[in-house]
């Protein structure tokens, strides 16, 4: 293994069966990334964040693979995601809902063993009431806001929570958690202030395990690890830390099919609104993916794809279903109808593409869409 994902297709990289392209998910690389992160946080354990269909890669497949790798804690954002994931995981897997306990989901969570992340006293009271009604303890996780102002118990509710915990009750608190807002930036002061706040909370609510680090947090060092780390993007090969080489292995490869080629003279306009004007005679190829397939319109005139390691610039606007690329740099006839070009792979990482699009790897991954033929390896 050289750390890249091989195309793994017969016939010299051409598309079969009318597919527009192949989205290849390397489950072995995913497993190695999990091992690496587990090693990084040991003796703490690594959970897996599989919200948004495991960042677009398939929560069922990803979850099953990581469970086989020893992972037992899985975080989704929403109750419906937990319900969908449950049948894909053995009974000893715990599924946590980060967005909290929505009104009406109490019976569903209780019946299906889905564990809410409690984000307010109001949620705590509803979950406690459910436990009372059932006459049995129900598991929950307590999330605190340490400075992101997004989710979790606000500071002003801590006293009420402490009082409720003194009284006791039927919610079995598995651990307490918080989320870092700037963990990808090792220089950020916000990491230190959130760590100080989490340390204060852990002292006030002593006796509970702590979960704090996301992918970036894992690489901020042991102070941030707590007992359960919650990596997402790093599992899927995205860079956990900005500005340094990415220690993770790529998991996703994307190859897209050529649907037409042509040669245009100098002066020809390319794409919507004719934003690109060919300076010379130019060979062009149109490929079968556009912004509806998660290749952002912001790549218009900026990004590139690759073939045989040659950079093929995107020319003109990204369309809904297609993108036109300049293939003048390749031998004539190298690309024909059905040939594949590399959008994500050894020559272009997720973070490279995200940078050209002016976004982050998370948005690229979760947006990749469902028109590609998916292959799990």
Q: At closest approach, how far in Å is the CB of 308 from ligand PLP?
A: 33
The answer to whether the CB of 40 falls within 8 A of the CB of 76 is no
CA torsion through residues 359, 362, 363, 367, sign: positive
1 is in an annotated binding site: no
E-assigned strand segments in 167-230:
171-177, 210-211, 228-229
Q: What is residue 153's three-state secondary structure?
A: strand
Site for ligand PLP in 181-220 (CB under 6 A): 214-216
Q: What residue number has its CB nearest to ligand PLP? A: 232
Nearer to ligand PLP among residue 52 and residue 343 (C-beta): 52
CA angle, residues 20, 259, 360, in degrees to nearest 5: 55
Among 58, 232, 271, 345, indicate the residue that binds ligand PLP (CB under 6 A). Answer: 232
Does residue 233 touch ligand PLP according to CB under 6 A?
A: yes
Q: How is residue 168 written in tokens?
A: 């006791």
Nearer to ligand PLP among residue 230 and residue 317 (C-beta): 230
Query: What is the secondary structure of 102-122 as a DSSP string?
Result: -TT-HHHHHHHTEEEEE-SHH
Nearer to ligand PLP among residue 179 and residue 283 (C-beta): 179
Among 230, 253, 276, 317, indicate the residue that binds ligand PLP (CB under 6 A). Answer: 230
> In whole angstroms, what separates CA 222 from the centre of its chain?
23
Q: Of the residues 22, 65, 236, 272, which is catalytic?
A: 272
Choose the stretch contacting ligand PLP; rule: CB under 6 A; options: 104-112, 226-234, 283-291, 337-345. Answer: 226-234
Give Cβ neighbours of residue 166 (< 8 Å, ≥ 6 apart): none
The answer to whether the CB of 186 falls within 8 A of the CB of 241 is yes
Does residue 98 touch ligand PLP according to CB under 6 A?
A: yes
Site string for ligand PLP, 287-326 (x = CB under 6 A): ----------------------------------------
> In whole angstroms, what separates CA 236 from the centre of its chain?
6
Q: At closest approach, how far in Å is the CB of 350 from ligand PLP?
A: 12
165-170 contacts, C-beta under 8 A, 24 or more apart: 165/205, 169/128, 169/131, 170/128, 170/131, 170/132, 170/136, 170/137, 170/138
Does residue 65 touch ligand PLP according to CB under 6 A?
A: no
Q: How is residue 45 written in tokens?
A: 């354990």
Q: Of the residues 22, 51, 65, 291, which is catalytic?
A: 51
- Give the Å distances, CA to CA, from 221 to 212, 228, 243: 12, 14, 17
User: Does 302 qualify as catalytic in the annotation?
Assistant: no
Does residue 231 touch ligand PLP according to CB under 6 A?
A: yes
Give Cβ neighbours of residue 254 (< 8 Å, ≥ 6 apart): 21, 22, 23, 24, 342, 343, 344, 345, 368, 372
Q: How far apart are CA 113 and CA 329, in angstroms?
A: 57
User: Does 272 qualify as catalytic in the annotation?
Assistant: yes
Q: At closest approach, how far in Å is the CB of 272 from ligand PLP?
A: 34
Nearer to ligand PLP among residue 219 and residue 306 (C-beta): 219
121 is in an annotated binding site: no
Nearer to ligand PLP among residue 213 and residue 278 (C-beta): 213
Site for ligand PLP in 353-372 (CB under 6 A): none
Nearer to ligand PLP among residue 24 and residue 119 (C-beta): 119
Extract the annotated binding site.
150, 320
Which residues of this protein are in contact with ligand PLP, per CB under 6 A?
A: 49, 51, 98, 179, 214-216, 230-234
Extract the annotated binding site for substrate.
150, 320
Q: Which residues form the catalytic set? A: 51, 272
């Amino acid at each position: 293994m050289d750390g890249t994902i091989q195309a793994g297709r017969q016939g010299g990289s051409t598309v079969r069966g009318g597919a527009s392209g192949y989205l290849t998910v390397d489950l072995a690389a995913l497993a190695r990334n999990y091992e690496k992160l587990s090693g990084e946080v040991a003796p703490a354990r690594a959970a897996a964040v599989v919200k948004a269909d495991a960042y677009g890669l398939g929560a069922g497949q990803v979850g099953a693979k990581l469970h086989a790798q020893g992972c037992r804690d899985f975080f989704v954002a929403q109750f419906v995601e937990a319900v969908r994931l449950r049948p894909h995981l053995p009974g000893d897997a715990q599924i946590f809902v980060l967005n909290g306990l929505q009104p009406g989901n109490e019976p569903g969570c209780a019946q299906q063993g889905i564990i809410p992340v409690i984000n307010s006293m109001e949620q705590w009271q509803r979950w406690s009431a459910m436990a009372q009604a059932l006459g049995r303890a129900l598991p929950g996780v307590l999330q605190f806001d340490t400075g992101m102002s997004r989710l979790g118990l606000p500071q002003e509710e801590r006293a009420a929570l402490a009082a409720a915990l003194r009284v006791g009750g039927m919610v079995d608190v598995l651990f307490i958690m918080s989320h870092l807002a700037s963990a990808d930036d090792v220089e950020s002061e916000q990491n230190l202030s959130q760590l100080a706040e989490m340390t204060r909370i852990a002292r006030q609510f002593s006796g509970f395990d702590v979960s704090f680090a996301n992918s970036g947090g894992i690489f901020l060092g042991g102070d941030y690890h707590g007992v359960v780390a919650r990596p997402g993007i790093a599992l899927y090969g995205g860079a956990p830390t900005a500005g340094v080489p990415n220690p993770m292995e790529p998991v996703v490869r994307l190859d897209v099919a050529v649907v037409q080629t042509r040669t245009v003279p100098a002066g020809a306009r390319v794409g919507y609104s004719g934003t690109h004007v060919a300076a010379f005679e130019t060979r062009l190829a149109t490929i079968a993916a556009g912004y509806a397939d998660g290749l952002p319109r912001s790549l218009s005139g900026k990004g590139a794809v690759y073939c045989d390691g040659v950079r093929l610039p995107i020319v003109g606007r990204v369309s809904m279903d297609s993108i036109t690329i300049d293939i003048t740099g390749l031998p004539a006839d190298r690309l024909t109808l059905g040939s594949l070009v590399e959008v994500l792979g050894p020559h272009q990482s997720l973070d490279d593409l995200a940078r050209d699009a002016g976004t982050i790897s998370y948005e690229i991954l979760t947006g990749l869409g469902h028109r590609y033929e998916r292959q799990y390896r």
